[in-house]
Structure 1
Amino acid sequence: MKRFFYTVTVLATLGLSSCKDFLETTPDDFVTPANYYRNEEEVNAALAGVYDILGRNQTYGRTLWWELDVADQFFDNRSNAIVDFSLNNYDATDTKVAGLWQSLYLGINRANMLLENLDKADMPQDAKTKVLGQAKFLRAYYYFLLVTNWGDVPLRLNATASVKEVNIPKTPSRTIYDFIVREMEEAEAMVEVTGTKNTGGTTVIYKFNHAGRVTNTIVQGILARVNLKMAGAPLNDRSRYSEVIKWATKVKESGLHSLNPSYKQIFINHMQDRYDLQYRESMWEAEFASAGPGLAYEEGSLGVTGGIPTGDPEIGYSYGIIQILKSHYDLYPISGTRTLVRTNVTPATITVEDSRDTRRDWNIAPFYYSGKDSIAYSKDQIYNRKNGKWRRIYQTALPKNTNSSPANFPILRYADVLLMLAEAENAVNGPTPLAKELVNQVRRRAYAVAPDPTNPAAGTIADVPANLDQDQLLTFIQDERARELFSEGLRKFDLIRWGEYLEVMRALSNQIAVSAPSGYGYAGRAATNVTEKHLLLPIPTGETTLNSAIVQNSGW
């Protein structure tokens, strides 16, 4: 679907390799404001440079959804590795820590430069306003990633004019969160409206045939995520739950997004470089593109670093680095009863029907490759299994490169919006029918069941148990987010905002020590290594060396 291609020569000149579906022009880091930003073409080129950050290896190409998302879901199978970001054993000199920090601030600086020079462009005011909204939103989003992972950070709202502008102190995280919300709310009224409904509410007209451009429902969905974080640790401002309800409801009531009936098809679409124009569940994607002869495009790592390991070039090479922990496999229960357990919450025992949750054997591949053959694992081989969410056998773009794939990464999905709304509704109003119904929508898709139209009150085997109280429903939603959003870069984010990351990781370490087969003890390294300092990342050494006004985060 990536239609706009650039030559190696042009990209090498500009120092960029991103291919964005909606922009033909290329960004340039080495422009002089005095003789640039003159027209719409140059402005769009600058805007492409702001978007470009999303597709870097240091962000959604790899770091944000794998190394940074160390949690009770998967582990790194490189048994000889001891020091690594993904093992919670690193320090301020780590190149991945520095790469994420530098990339986000690069995106912020590009946005600052665009915002400072946009007025001089000779272009229609409506087009200028839409660029303004996108630049403000992206700058705020990069700050959201910074404050989420580092806490207090420097707030830079002007483009860097001199190499001497380095001594900038941290701004309190609450101030930065307030800035993020304010900027995003302003942007929501400026960016393109995703589509319109007719008076009957049944026909939707979409403005774009891709998911790479920021539109109003994307801003609304991310505002729900920002406010959900503010409602949890470290701010614990529970008043923000009402804002989550406000913004997530706007997305829901827009009628512009719905759940794809097939869970696995969402990720097959990514591998096939297809946008879901019917359901638009995958609302916002970091875009990647296939590399061809004589061309240099930006590819990511989905299905390659993770995926089902194979050296077969037709299937598509995969290292299969991400292996599965039993703690995650057990979230998809079989027939019988299951106890929902969470510290300081009364356990709830629920009845589980014959499991039809299609997500388990998609997220966790139940087979491995031997040549071109698929060999099923035995029922006891849990720690052997790999992340199967993105499978290269479905990749249509050729050639299938050894170290990268063109699959887009889903930054925001509609299923996440429904679960955020359910969590906030439960927090404000308790385990209401609405809160349960929102979760049921996601679960019914996973189980491929629907209520009996002649007796809808009877529910389905997928539905939330009726007897859960407020705390127990939150526990159920927490598990549901782990099942639905597996490997999408949100689990550690969730555990930290719930104030449960350290507790969960320590319990995980104990479980692995007891349950892991011989030879898999290293599965617990990330859990064993974790300490309170890992709630935030260290300020990179390069920054503390140059910036005498900044203070290192506690424990680092």
Structure 2
Amino acid sequence: MKINKETVRYITAIWLLIGASSCVDLTPEPLSFYAPENTFMDKEGLDALLVTSRKQIKWEWFGDAFNAGYCETPIVYEYAFSDLSVIGSPPVKEIHDLKTQLTPTANAALHLRYWDLAWNGIKYANTVITRVPKSNITNEEDKNQLLAEGYFHRAYWYYLLVHQWGDVPLILEEIAEPKLDFYTAPRMRILQQMKLDLEFAVKWLPKEVKPGCVNRAAGEHLLTKIYLSTGDFEDAVKSATRCIKENGRHLMTERFGINVSNSELDVINDLFNEENISSNENKEAIFVVQERFGMEGNVAPKGANRMRNFVPYWCNGADVKTPDGKNGTTYDAGPYDGYSLLDTLGRGIAKIRPTNYGQYEIWRNCNQDMRHNRNNWYDISRLWYNRPPSKGGSDIWFGKRVQREFVKDTMRCYFSFPISKVLIYKDDLNKGKTPTGGFTDQYVFRLAETYLMRAEAYYWLGNIAEAKNDVNEIRRRANAPELSSISLDDILDERARELYLEEHRKVELTRIAFLKAQLGIDGYSLNDFSNKNWYFDRIMEKNNFYATQYFYSSNPYVMEPYHVLWPVPLTAITSNTQGRINQNIGYFGAEDNIPIE
């Protein structure tokens, strides 16, 4: 693809805008002061902007510490405030008590980071959508395909926004000059617009694309999410079925990929091998983002950092003691047998640690479920003392299993986790004292989720038999016992087992909370959503830390019903001087809200 110099300068300006921002005003800045009126008016230029849109999604999945010069992986917070996990790191930098720590002015690395990502993503999509009709492109198919992907990206970010913040401004065109008069729009109006857009998009997105690009199956998958949100359950069944049957996709039930000759592994391990996610053999992948060591266009210097974020702080010998009182573990590299443990697990800091529900309850009676075998799940009882006597360890206990009763900090240093999802062994970043889990491709949409979304649509329609069949399709592949009946809890349990670190867990729970309120189920109502909602009730049922206000380090884990939605950043409200962006109920500033139309 040949791109003129002005386009290169334009794209460079966009990279600088993203890289320099830790937060942004809601008002999208003009994309470039260098751009002439005809920039992005041909197919090559608009294709280049769609590359920017795809890159924007990568920021969700890759990266680490905000204060290290690049932005923290936002997806960790989708798990931190869910039924599956909480923040394991100390609260000096992280949120335990949402009531005092999650405010419109605090913790920019959390809510401002997603706010930033979403509005920039919508900005890039709107630029494509606005400029395609004005472009010099004469081929109608080319124009419609460009529009289709633009609609996809806008709908992707709005789907997240309305389930993280609820009612937000609806922006449907490129903004080429400063604008200070935004108004909050109803969540359902936004979803209905995204539904119309995606219904157009799925007619024009190509079926076959290179990995990392957006295909028709991805459009159908996202459309299914929108239909579930709006309560169009029959349509959700139809779009999910089209995704499953009409796009050359299928569940991977047989061994494939780089390790196919290793008989000790299994198809679940194959699915998440770094080399297999984007493989042509893998027909289960729908939409992936790619982060490769040394590849131009990476968003994070060290890739995914999953070993760092999702693995326990096992190497903290001061808290992992031997029965005779010695420090039991270490990450300090050296010429002794214990170093192999660092090679295996990396150096985790437990930014995220599982709840009892995520670690134990969903795995009860799992029998031979491959997702919980030694290939794909690290039971923390396997951890052993790796600090040798020469490094201050115990000569009696070196090489033996860690004894849980002598672990001083079981919150951060001692829990089980899914190997296949978090351990990444490729590239040179995993060498030395601090391997953190480097570069890998990442599923954004995978066909297994399509089946589970269709199961949920069938459930809402009262077709329990078909809902059960779809869930059992996933369970059969994993060699898990089939279910004889199905409930919403069963579907959510299966999502937890199958889609860890793939789904937006908090978003999906909030979506269901809105749905129950829309339908008036179990006494929930949109009129009192911030005071009584299913999301909060589920967290209190499943998340033992928030339910008991577990006290760790310097404060307890606290959540209130209004935390179903995040606070709108104060800067977005105060800088919007000629309009009104409402604050979510429960946070300061909500008393100044005005009715929305």
- Name the TM tier (shorter chain): 0.7 to 0.9
Deviations, residues 446-500 of structure 1 (Å, cap 9, x unaligned): 22xxxxxxxxxxxxx61112xx3xxx53332222122212233433233333333
Matches within 5 A, 1:366-385: 366=380, 367-368=382-383, 384-385=414-415
Matches within 5 A, 1:63-102: 63-69=73-79, 70-81=81-92, 84=95, 89-93=101-105, 94-95=107-108, 96-102=110-116
CA distance in 1, matches of 2:554, 2:85: 10
Q: CA distance change for structure 1 residues 491 and 444 in 2, over 3 Å: closer, same or farther?
A: same
Deviations, residues 124-156 of structure 1 (Å, cap 9, x unaligned): 543333222111211122111111211111111
CA distance in 1, matches of 2:96, 2:276: 29
Please point out which of 462, 467, 488 is paired with 2:481: 462
CA distance in 2, matches of 1:36, 1:375: 65
Q: What is aligned with 1:409?
A: 442
Q: What is aligned with 1:446?
A: 478
Would you say the 8 A contact 1:87–1:525 is kept in 2? no
Q: What is aligned with 1:327?
A: 357
Q: What is aligned with 1:504?
A: 538
1:154 equivalent in alignment to 2:169? yes
Q: What is aligned with 1:546?
A: 575
Q: What is aligned with 1:129?
A: 144
Deviations, residues 56-97 of structure 1 (Å, cap 9, x unaligned): 258998554211332221222224547528967311123121
Would you say the 8 A contact 1:263–1:358 is kept in 2? yes
CA distance in 2, matches of 1:247, 1:43: 28
Letter in 2 for 1:396: K
Letter in 2 for 1:285: V
Deviations, residues 151-191 of structure 1 (Å, cap 9, x unaligned): 1111112222222x022110111110100101111111111
1:355 equivalent in alignment to 2:374? no
Please point out which of 397, 419, 431 is paired with 2:427: 397
CA distance in 2, matches of 1:374, 1:418: 44
Q: CA distance change for structure 1 residues 368 and 134 in 2, over 3 Å: closer, same or farther?
A: farther
Deviations, residues 8-62 of structure 1 (Å, cap 9, x unaligned): xx968942789xxxxxxxxx75552513124333222111122221012589985
CA distance in 2, matches of 1:332, 1:278: 30
Matches within 5 A, 1:236-251: 240-251=232-243
CA distance in 2, matches of 1:476, 1:288: 33
CA distance in 1, matches of 2:49, 2:17: 12
Q: What is aligned with 2:16?
A: 15
Q: What is aligned with 1:450?
A: none
Cα deviation for residue 504 of structure 1 reads 2.4
Q: CA distance change for structure 1 residues 136 and 370 in 2, over 3 Å: closer, same or farther?
A: farther
Cα deviation for residue 295 of structure 1 reads 9.0
Q: State TM-score, norm by structure 2.
A: 0.70
Q: CA distance change for structure 1 residues 360 and 46 in 2, over 3 Å: closer, same or farther?
A: same
CA distance in 2, matches of 1:531, 1:176: 26
Deviations, residues 484-537 of structure 1 (Å, cap 9, x unaligned): 1223343323333333321122234667888x9xxx8439978x4111221111
CA distance in 2, matches of 1:86, 1:256: 46
Q: What is aligned with 1:183?
A: 197
Letter in 1 for 2:217: T
CA distance in 1, matches of 2:457, 2:297: 46
Q: What is aligned with 1:493?
A: 507
CA distance in 1, matches of 2:32, 2:61: 18
Please point out which of 554, 557, 561 is paired with 1:532: 561
Deviations, residues 220-262 of structure 1 (Å, cap 9, x unaligned): 111111222333xxxxxxxx11121111111122262222232
Q: CA distance change for structure 1 residues 321 and 277 in 2, over 3 Å: closer, same or farther?
A: same
CA distance in 2, matches of 1:136, 1:13: 20
Q: What is aligned with 1:234?
A: none
Q: Identity across aligned pairs (percent)?
A: 21
Letter in 1 for 2:88: N
1:284 equivalent in alignment to 2:295? no
Q: CA distance change for structure 1 residues 33 and 170 in 2, over 3 Å: closer, same or farther?
A: farther
Q: CA distance change for structure 1 residues 79 and 54 in 2, over 3 Å: closer, same or farther?
A: same
Q: State TM-score, norm by structure 1.
A: 0.74
Would you say the 8 A contact 1:258–1:414 is kept in 2? yes
Would you say the 8 A contact 1:317–1:392 is kept in 2? no
Would you say the 8 A contact 2:87–2:96 is kept in 1? no
CA distance in 2, matches of 1:358, 1:480: 13
Please point out which of 40, 45, 49 is paired with 1:42: 45
Letter in 2 for 1:260: M
Please point out which of 268, 279, 292 is paired with 1:263: 268
Would you say the 8 A contact 2:102–2:567 is kept in 1? no
CA distance in 2, matches of 1:525, 1:416: 36
Matches within 5 A, 1:210-225: 210=211, 212-225=212-225
Would you say the 8 A contact 1:11–1:17 is kept in 2? no
CA distance in 1, matches of 2:16, 2:561: 38
Letter in 2 for 1:328: G
Would you say the 8 A contact 2:290–2:442 is kept in 1? yes
1:300 equivalent in alignment to 2:311? no
Deviates more, 1:143-152 or 1:485-494: 485-494
Q: SS state of the match for residue 552, structure 2?
A: helix
Would you say the 8 A contact 1:306–1:322 is kept in 2? yes
Q: CA distance change for structure 1 residues 525 and 273 in 2, over 3 Å: closer, same or farther?
A: farther
CA distance in 1, matches of 2:272, 2:554: 28
Q: CA distance change for structure 1 residues 131 and 160 in 2, over 3 Å: closer, same or farther?
A: same
Q: What is aligned with 2:245?
A: 253
Would you say the 8 A contact 2:510–2:564 is kept in 1? yes
Q: SS state of the match for residue 286, structure 2?
A: strand
Cα deviation for residue 444 of structure 1 reads 1.4
Would you say the 8 A contact 1:419–1:481 is kept in 2? yes
CA distance in 2, matches of 1:445, 1:319: 33
CA distance in 1, matches of 2:76, 2:360: 21
Deviations, residues 301-337 of structure 1 (Å, cap 9, x unaligned): 3333223656568555543432222222233445xxx
